[in-house]
Structure formats: structure tokens, C-alpha cells
């Protein structure tokens, strides 16, 4: 730092000196120009005055009179003297001092006589600069001679030297003052903050702090400060990962972490790259006033797959749905993410409003969604929506093929029911690509799926994948039964695979989960302090009750929210002592509201909550609080941690991560989970209170049991379920899925088998 200060001060001294010299030079030149101009003007005035008198005296013909005249004018400031010459150049009269300097008629006088006008000139006599003004002398209209007025110009040089000296002294003072002020600024504004940052990073390195909020103020170095924060967080994450790894080795556990996932899959990919395809993007951009804001949609998928994409410099292909998404991509619609530390590529695909309406809201969410969930909502299939679904699948496939064009043996992971046709489309163009698709929603039985007019095309598209993943085994079984009924193929029930058109597809369950950490520091940074002031939380929603239940769902007819409200009503009917004691808070994020069924559902839920509240509420209490707006993850965490119970009563669900998120948030190992038996999570979380959400009395009874359960039993149940989530976490899901895909043989059927199969088919 001392060397930096010395360099800065020396640079400032040199810079100030050069600038001062430049300004002084122009000042001297300007002043010299003014003095010379003033001298010329005074010489002309004096010359005109002397010339008039000389011309009058010349007429008398007395040279002695002329001599006395010029001698009289010679006593002027800076004037060397005056000389008079006749037309032939003979000296007629000259002042005594000037006679010692001029021995002959100056050329300027000859020029003035010849040109008939005055002449100004500077020249040197010895080492002294002088100025001469020459003008012709007249007798009527005849030129009779010339006059020379000579001034000593030495004072001009003296004045210039004086100006240089003053400038030099002024420069010295300026350099001293500026250097002194610079030292103070460097110490107060640069050295001090950097020293604070060094102390902060030292404390971070030693593990004494870990929070971004404790970062020193480095406003002067914003870009550097941001990089320092990023580096500090990377160090903190590396420390945490190393400590977790050491703890796992000590406990002989094989728990998956983000770092273990990245390292293992980087080895599995063997230098290759991963390409993820989903409808929702991991980062979206929108306008916030005049600036752009980056939004991270809440998604367990991002949590699971980002470490892998970071490790292998992968590519995520998704629909660019943000209002400002198009403003930040390059010419190929690509963007490096995450914004803070770009490690992989986001490729955005653009859809027209009609395509999004038909493909996403139409076929995917009015057709496939209700079809697969079997939740008493009639699926709607329109030929126009199917056409859009096919077109969007082709558009995304084209983007994938463009991204993997120069990649050897790429690995493509397609997400969800939006892209059922894509695996076949990719395989037809790139048979060397390893393609997997994970179906995040249930797969119904063959009879239910047979409602879809295009079931054969959907199944055939999915069978283009090398690996198809579902949450639970029963969904795999339903899919294989559907395949057996819909398309010509060979189903291998022993290995859960399908052979069709000389291509083998493996169908396995991969239960998705959440990230659950034991690290208290990381947990507190992510979710806030473990303690939640329940009274303050309830005060925000104007409720006063000692017992609180919570439900967190996207408003959807598959989530059983209306049945949940009815169970709360029945609970208060059967157990009146809990009136004014228990409040159920339902966080319901609006979803797909311009689809009529979803719009109607929102109105139905609001009406049902209002009806039940009208029946039981008092001036200070009501049984149901329906928060029908979007909440971020931090807001939801507060309710998870404050609740005595969490109700997850889906009528049909692939997994439902809310149940696991609730348990992950309960580091205190308190609270009770009431879980629908029709969720995928019910297969793993056997210590939850499992209910049939259609049985309102059973669910109401589960609420009573949850509120009256002994604290020891609550803790035991939550502890066991958290241990399951910890072991079967989101990183294990991603690792298992991609590892199995990478280990599959693409040439599952050798040429001999193909020949035999072809002969049998021909016969």
C-alpha cells in the first residue's frame, strides 16, 4: 500500500508539473505578445510625434537644430534614441546613446523610405533585443528621408523570466498541497476501506464471520467490492463443503451434496456437456424503473441442476418469458449465468402469444395436466392446441440440435410433460445423444390415458428417450402398461424397459426432493434465524390464536384446498374447544388464472373460506386466513417455522415438495405433517399423519391428533423424516438420474440380435 501511495504521489507531481509548465508557457507567450504589442504601439505614437517636428525643423535646413530636437526626445522610458537619415542614407541627426549602437542606417529605414510607410521590427544588437520603428519623412509630397525610433526590449525578457519564476513557485506550492491532500484522501478513502476489507476477509478465512451483511463499505470500489463478496462467498461455500465432506467421511455416510454431485457427474460426463430443456427458465429479466432486474423463479430443479451445469459448462434451454429477456441475450439468444459468477449458458427460445396459449395453457395444462392427475376435471383437447404443442416441441428441438451441433456424445435432460415429443425428435437427428426425460406429474392408468386423441404420438415421442424417469414406481408401471396397450413394442417387466424400433428405453423411478442442510450458519443465512416470533407473524395477518396450521400451494384443483377448508370446518364442529384457539393459514399462489377452471377455482376458494369464517369468526379471530398472492421463499419459511402443523392434502400429486420443504425448514424438529396418501411423498414420509383427503372426517381427526400429540413423539417423527430427506435429497435425485443415463449403452441391441429380430418380424 505504501508503494501504491508513493507511485500515486509521484505520478501526481509529474502530472501537475507538466500541466503547470504548459499553462505557464502559454501565460509567458501571451504576456510577451502583449508587451511587444504595447511597445510597438508606443513606438508608433512617439514616431509620429517626432516625425512631425523633424519635418518642420528640416525645412529650416539646420542640422544642429535637428540634433537638438532628437536629443530632446531621447529621454523616454526604454527608449534608446532617435535617428534621422536623408534619402541617400546619410545620418543627419542621432541621439548620443543611439549613436554608440547604430553605425549605419538600419535596413528598416530604407524599407520605410522605399515603401512610403512605417516599418516595425525586433532585432538584436549584441546580446540585447531592441525594437525599431522606421517611417518616411516628407516635404509636401516628396520623401526627403527617414526616421528611426529605437527602444530597448530587454525589459520584455526580464518580465518573462519573472513570470516563469512566479509560476515555478506557485507550482511548488500546488504540488505540496495536492500531494498532502492526496495522501489524506488515499488514507481515508482507499487505504482505510481496503484495510477493513482485508480484516473482514481474514475473519472470513478464519471462520469468524460468514454473512454478506458484515461486509465493510467499499462504495468507492463497487466492481471490486462485488467480486470480493463473490470470492468471499465462494470461500465460505468451499469451507462448508469441505467441512460437510469431512463430517460425512467421519460418519461413514454417503450423503449427496452440491459439490459431490458436481464432481461425480463431471467424471461421468467424461469431458462432455449437459443440456437441460425446460419450459421455465432459471433466470428471467424484467424492467424495474429504468434498470433491469434479475428474477430467480423458486424451483427445486434449479437447485438440483445448477451445480452440474456449473461443473461441466452446460447449457440450459428454456422459454424466455421475462419482459426484458430479449434485451440481454446475444445474437444467438444466449446468456451466461448465474449473473454474479457466470458458469454455464442459458439459451432462450421465443414463443409467440398464440404458441404459448395453445402449447402451454391449452394442450399442456388444459389437456395433459387434468388427464394425468385424474382430479375430476375434464381434460380439454383441441386440434389447434395439439398443432401448437407439436410446433413448440419442434422449435425447442431445433434449439437443442443447434446447441449440440459440434458436441460429441451430448447428454440431454428434458423436463416434464411440456416436451413429450422432443426425445424422438432429438434421437432421429442425433442418435449418438444420450436423452432422458423426467415426467414430474403422475402417469395415469392406461384407461384414463386413452382419453387423449394423440396418445400414440405422445408415447412414441417419449420412447425416443434412453431413460424416462417418474417419481414413484406405480407411475412407471402405469406408463409401461400404457405402452403395452398403445404402441407396438416389447416391454421387459423384469428390467423395466421398452424395446421399440431397435431402440431400448429404461423406465425407472427417481423421487425428487429438496436441499436439507445441517449447517446452522448456512441455514440461518438462507432462511433467517431459527426463532420465529409467532405473535408478530400473526399480528401481520390480524389473527390471535395459540395454534396455527399452514398450507402452501399453487391454486390448483389437484391440491385439495377446498377439501382442506372443509376439514378445518369439521374439526371446529367436532371440537369446539379449539374455536378461537386454532387458525389455519392457506398461502395460495394464483396460477393460470386466465384459464376458466382456475379462475373459477379461485372464486370458489375465496367463497368457501368466507363462508366458514362467517360461521365461526369473532372480532379478534377467524379460523381460515386465505393469502391468495405470490410469496417468496423467505416469507413462506416464516410460516413453516411458526406452524404447529402443515397440511398437504393433494387429491393426486406426482411428489409434492411442500411436504419436504416444511420438514427441511423445521430444524427445531417440531411440528406435524398431515399428508395425503395420494402424493408421491407419502411413499417416503411414513411418519406423517397420512389421510385420504376425500374423507373430511379423517382429515379433521388428523388435525386434532396433530395438535394434541406429545412433543417427544413430534420430535421423533420429524427427526426420522428429516433423516430420509437428508439422505434422499435433491442432489441424489439429479446424480442418480444423470449417472444412470451416462452409464446406459446406446447400442443396447447388438447387430446379431437386430438380425434375428428382423427375421422374426419378417416371418
* DSSP state letters, 590-625: --STTSHHHHHHHHHHHHHHHHHHHHH--SS--SEE
Please provide residue 78's backbone torsions phi and psi, each rounded to the nearest 5 degrees: 65, 10
Specify whether the CB–CB gap between 659 and 679 falls below 8 A: yes
**Average pLDDT over every residue of 260-268:** 82
**Average pLDDT over every residue of 268-282:** 89
Out of 16-25, 403-412, 702-711, pick the least confident. 16-25
**Average pLDDT over every residue of 529-552:** 82
The per-residue b/e assignment along 394-408, b for 16 or more CB within 10 angstroms, e otherwise, is ebbbebbbebbeebe
How confident is the model at residue 759, as a pLDDT?
A: 42
The larger pLDDT score, comparing residue 358 to residue 542, is at 358
Specify whether the CB–CB gap between 215 and 204 falls below 8 A: no
Does residue 61 carry a pLDDT above 60? yes
Q: How far is it, in rounded angstroms, from Cα 393 to Cα 419? A: 6
Place 129 in a pLDDT band, splitting at 50, 70 and 90.
Answer: confident
Does residue 754 carry a pLDDT above 50? no
The larger pLDDT score, comparing residue 182 to residue 684, is at 684
Specify whether the CB–CB gap between 313 and 267 falls below 8 A: no
- Write down the mean pLDDT value for the chain: 85
Cis-peptide into 474, omega within 30 deg: no
How confident is the model at residue 236, as a pLDDT?
A: 65
Candidate ranges 14-23, 375-384, 667-676; pick with highest mean pLDDT: 667-676
The pLDDT > 70 percentage for the chain reads 86
Does residue 141 carry a pLDDT above 90? no
Does residue 227 carry a pLDDT above 90? no
**Average pLDDT over every residue of 698-718:** 96
How confident is the model at residue 745, as a pLDDT?
A: 79
Does residue 580 carry a pLDDT above 90? yes
Place 243 in a pLDDT band, splitting at 50, 70 and 90.
Answer: low
Does residue 280 carry a pLDDT above 50? yes
Specify whether the CB–CB gap between 581 and 545 falls below 8 A: yes
Out of 5-14, 401-410, 555-564, 577-586, pick the least confident. 5-14
Specify whether the CB–CB gap between 729 and 513 falls below 8 A: yes
How confident is the model at residue 65, as a pLDDT?
A: 74
Angle between helical axes of 658-665 and 711-727 (0-180°, round to 10): 110
Place 622 in a pLDDT band, splitting at 50, 70 and 90.
Answer: very high
H or E segment to which residue 690 belongs: strand 689-691
By DSSP bridging, strand 503-509 and strand 467-470 are: parallel
Query: Bridge-partner residues for 469, per DSSP?
Result: 438, 508
Does residue 526 carry a pLDDT above 50? no
Q: How far is it, in rounded angstroms, from Cα 27 to Cα 157? A: 14
The larger pLDDT score, comparing residue 429 to residue 166, is at 429
Does residue 73 carry a pLDDT above 80? no
Q: How far is it, in rounded angstroms, from Cα 655 to Cα 681? A: 5
**Average pLDDT over every residue of 130-159:** 84
Specify whether the CB–CB gap between 487 and 463 falls below 8 A: yes
Which residues, 6 or more positions from 185, have their beta carbon under 8 angstroms from its beta carbon?
A: none
Eight-class DSSP state of 217: -
**Average pLDDT over every residue of 557-582:** 96
How confident is the model at residue 299, as a pLDDT?
A: 66
Q: For 1-6, which contacts have Cβ atoms below 8 Å and span 24 or more sequence positions? A: 1/191, 1/194, 4/186, 5/183, 5/186, 5/191
Place 81 in a pLDDT band, splitting at 50, 70 and 90.
Answer: confident
H or E segment to which residue 120 belongs: strand 119-125
How confident is the model at residue 561, as a pLDDT?
A: 96
How confident is the model at residue 521, as a pLDDT?
A: 47
Query: Bridge-partner residues for 213, per DSSP?
Result: none
Place 248 in a pLDDT band, splitting at 50, 70 and 90.
Answer: low
Specify whether the CB–CB gap between 449 and 314 falls below 8 A: no
Which residues, 6 or more positions from 678, have their beta carbon under 8 angstroms from its beta carbon?
A: 650, 651, 652, 653, 692, 693
Specify whether the CB–CB gap between 43 and 140 falls below 8 A: no
Secondary structure (DSSP) of 39-76: HHHHHHHHHHHHHHHHHHHHHHT-HHHHHHHHHHHT-S
Does residue 415 carry a pLDDT above 80? yes
Helix (H, G, I), strand (E, B) or coil at 413: strand
Q: How far is it, in rounded angstroms, from Cα 425 to Cα 687? A: 43
Does residue 520 carry a pLDDT above 60? no
How confident is the model at residue 214, as a pLDDT?
A: 57
How confident is the model at residue 247, as a pLDDT?
A: 55
Does residue 107 carry a pLDDT above 80? yes
H or E segment to which residue 470 belongs: strand 467-470
Angle between helical axes of 658-665 and 633-642 (0-180°, round to 10): 70
The beta strand positions in 531-609, using DSSP E, are 547-554, 582-589
Out of 176-180, 691-695, 748-752, pick the least confident. 748-752
H or E segment to which residue 147 belongs: strand 142-152
Specify whether the CB–CB gap between 664 and 725 falls below 8 A: yes
Q: List the grid coordinates of 330.
A: 446475444
The pLDDT > 90 percentage for the chain reads 47
**Average pLDDT over every residue of 77-92:** 82
How confident is the model at residue 3, as a pLDDT?
A: 64
How confident is the model at residue 541, as a pLDDT?
A: 87
How confident is the model at residue 751, as a pLDDT?
A: 40
**Average pLDDT over every residue of 577-603:** 91
Eight-class DSSP state of 184: H
Neighbours of 748 (CB within 10 A): 15
Which residues, 6 or more positions from 480, have their beta carbon under 8 angstroms from its beta carbon?
A: 491, 493, 496, 498, 507
Q: How far is it, in rounded angstroms, from Cα 20 to Cα 711? A: 82
Place 740 in a pLDDT band, splitting at 50, 70 and 90.
Answer: very high
* Residue-wise pLDDT tens digits, 429-470: 999 999 999 999 999 999 999 999 999 999 999 999 999 999
For the beta sheet containing 624-627, the strands, ordered from the edge strand earlier in sequence to the opposite edge, are: 624-627, 582-589, 547-554, 645-648, 672-676, 689-691
The larger pLDDT score, comparing residue 245 to residue 170, is at 170
**Average pLDDT over every residue of 514-520:** 71
Query: Bridge-partner residues for 435, per DSSP?
Result: 412
How confident is the model at residue 205, as a pLDDT?
A: 61
How confident is the model at residue 750, as a pLDDT?
A: 43
Cα 573 to Cα 329, 626, 634, 717, distances in angstroms:
58, 20, 34, 28
Specify whether the CB–CB gap between 47 and 120 falls below 8 A: no
Does residue 744 carry a pLDDT above 50? yes
Specify whether the CB–CB gap between 48 and 78 falls below 8 A: no
Specify whether the CB–CB gap between 214 and 202 falls below 8 A: no
H or E segment to which residue 467 belongs: strand 467-470
Does residue 43 carry a pLDDT above 90? no
Does residue 664 carry a pLDDT above 70? yes
Does residue 489 carry a pLDDT above 60? yes
Amino acid at each position: 500500500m505504501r508503494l501504491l501511495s508513493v507511485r500515486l504521489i509521484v505520478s501526481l507531481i509529474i502530472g501537475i508539473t507538466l500541466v503547470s509548465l504548459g499553462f505557464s508557457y502559454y501565460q509567458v507567450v501571451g504576456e510577451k505578445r502583449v508587451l511587444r504589442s504595447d511597445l510597438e504601439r508606443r513606438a508608433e505614437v512617439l514616431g509620429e510625434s517626432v516625425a512631425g517636428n523633424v519635418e518642420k525643423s528640416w525645412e529650416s535646413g539646420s542640422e544642429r537644430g535637428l540634433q537638438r530636437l532628437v536629443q530632446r526626445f531621447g529621454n523616454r522610458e526604454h527608449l534608446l534614441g532617435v535617428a534621422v537619415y536623408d534619402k541617400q542614407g546619410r545620418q543627419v541627426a542621432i541621439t548620443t546613446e543611439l549613436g554608440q549602437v547604430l553605425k549605419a542606417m538600419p535596413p528598416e529605414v530604407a524599407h520605410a523610405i522605399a515603401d512610403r510607410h512605417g516599418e516595425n521590427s525586433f532585432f538584436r544588437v549584441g546580446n540585447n533585443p531592441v525594437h525599431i520603428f522606421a517611417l518616411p519623412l516628407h516635404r509636401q509630397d516628396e520623401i526627403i528621408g527617414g526616421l528611426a525610433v529605437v527602444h530597448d526590449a530587454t525589459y520584455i525578457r526580464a518580465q518573462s523570466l519573472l513570470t516563469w519564476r512566479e509560476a515555478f513557485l506557485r507550482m511548488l506550492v500546488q504540488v505540496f498541497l495536492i500531494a498532502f491532500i492526496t495522501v489524506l484522501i488515499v488514507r481515508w478513502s482507499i487505504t482505510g476501506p481496503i484495510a477493513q476489507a482485508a480484516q473482514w476477509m481474514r475473519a472470513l478465512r478464519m471462520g469468524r464471520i460468514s454473512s454478506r451483511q458484515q461486509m465493510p463499505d467499499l462504495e468507492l470500489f463497487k466492481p471490486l467490492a462485488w467480486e470480493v463478496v463473490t470470492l468471499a462467498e465462494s470461500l465460505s461455500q468451499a469451507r462448508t463443503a469441505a467441512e460437510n465432506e469431512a463430517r460425512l467421511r467421519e460418519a461413514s455416510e454417503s450423503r449427496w451434496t452440491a459439490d459431490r454431485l458436481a464432481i461425480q457427474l463431471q467424471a461421468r460426463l467424461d469431458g462432455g456437456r449437459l443440456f437441460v430443456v425446460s419450459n421455465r427458465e432459471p433466470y428471467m429479466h424484467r424492467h424495474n424503473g429504468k434498470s433491469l432486474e434479475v428474477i430467480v423463479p423458486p424451483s427445486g430443479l434449479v437447485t438440483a441442476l445448477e451445480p452440474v451445469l456449473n461443473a461441466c459448462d452446460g447449457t440450459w434451454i428454456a422459454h424466455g418469458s421475462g419482459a426484458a429477456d430479449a434485451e440481454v441475450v446475444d445474437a444467438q439468444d444466449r446468456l451466461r449465468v448465474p449473473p454474479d459468477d457466470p458458469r454455464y449458458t442459458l439459451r432462450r427460445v421465443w414463443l409467440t402469444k398464440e404458441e404459448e396459449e395453445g402449447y402451454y395453457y391449452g394442450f399442456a395444462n388444459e389437456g395433459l395436466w387434468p388427464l394425468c392427475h385424474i382430479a375430476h376435471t375434464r381434460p380439454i383437447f383441441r386440434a389447434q392446441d395439439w398443432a401448437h404443442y407439436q410446433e413448440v416441441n419442434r422449435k425447442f428441438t431445433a434449439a437443442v440440435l443447434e446447441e449440440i451441433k459440434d458436441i460429441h456424445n451430448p447428454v440431454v435432460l428434458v423436463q416434464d410433460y411440456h416436451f413429450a415429443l422432443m426425445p424422438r425428435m432429438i434421437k432421429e437427428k442425433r442418435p449418438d445423444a444420450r436423452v432422458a426425460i423426467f415426467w414430474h406429474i403422475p402417469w395415469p392408468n392406461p384407461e384414463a390415458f386413452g382419453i387423449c386423441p394423440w396418445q400414440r404420438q405422445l408415447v412414441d415421442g417419449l420412447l425416443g428417450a434412453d431413460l424416462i424417469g417418474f417419481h414413484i414406481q406405480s407411475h412407471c408401471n402405469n406408463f409401461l402398461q400404457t405402452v403395452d396397450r398403445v404402441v407396438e413394442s416389447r416391454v421387459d417387466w423384469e428390467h423395466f424397459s421398452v424395446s421399440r424400433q431397435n431402440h431400448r428405453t429404461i423406465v425407472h423411478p427417481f423421487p425428487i426432493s429438496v436441499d436439507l442442510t445441517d449447517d446452522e450458519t448456512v441455514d440461518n443465512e438462507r432462511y433467517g434465524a431459527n426463532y420465529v416470533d409467532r405473535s408478530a407473524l400473526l399480528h401481520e395477518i390480524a389473527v390471535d390464536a395459540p395454534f396455527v396450521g399452514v398450507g402452501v400451494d399453487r391454486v390448483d384443483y389437484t391440491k385439495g384446498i377446498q377439501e382442506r377448508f372443509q376439514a378445518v370446518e369439521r374439526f371446529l364442529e367436532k371440537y369446539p374447544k379449539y374455536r378461537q384457539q386454532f387458525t389455519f393459514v392457506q398461502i395460495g399462489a394464483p396460477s393460470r388464472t386466465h384459464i376458466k377452471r382456475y379462475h373459477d377455482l379461485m372464486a370458489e376458494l375465496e367463497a368457501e373460506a368466507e363462508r366458514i369464517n362467517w360461521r365461526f369468526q369473532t372480532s379478534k379471530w377467524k379460523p381460515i386466513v386465505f393469502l391468495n398472492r405470490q410469496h417468496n421463499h423467505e416469507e413462506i419459511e416464516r410460516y413453516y417455522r411458526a406452524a404447529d402443523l402443515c397440511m398437504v392434502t393433494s387429491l393426486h400429486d406426482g411428489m409434492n415438495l411442500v411436504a419436504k420443504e416444511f420438514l427441511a425448514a423445521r430444524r427445531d424438529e417440531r411440528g406435524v405433517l398431515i399428508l395425503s396418501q395420494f402424493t408421491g411423498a407419502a411413499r417416503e414420509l411414513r411418519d406423517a399423519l397420512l389421510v385420504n383427503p376425500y374423507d373430511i372426517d379423517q382429515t379433521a381427526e388428523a388435525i386434532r391428533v396433530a395438535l394434541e400429540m406429545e412433543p417427544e413423539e413430534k420430535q421423533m417423527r420429524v427427526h426420522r423424516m428429516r433423516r430420509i430427506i437428508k439422505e434422499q435429497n435433491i442432489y441424489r435425485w439429479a446424480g442418480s438420474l444423470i449417472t444412470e443415463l451416462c452409464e446406459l449403452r446406446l447400442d443396447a441391441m447388438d447387430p446379431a440380435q437386430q438380425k434375428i429380430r428382423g427375421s422374426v418380424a419378417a416371418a
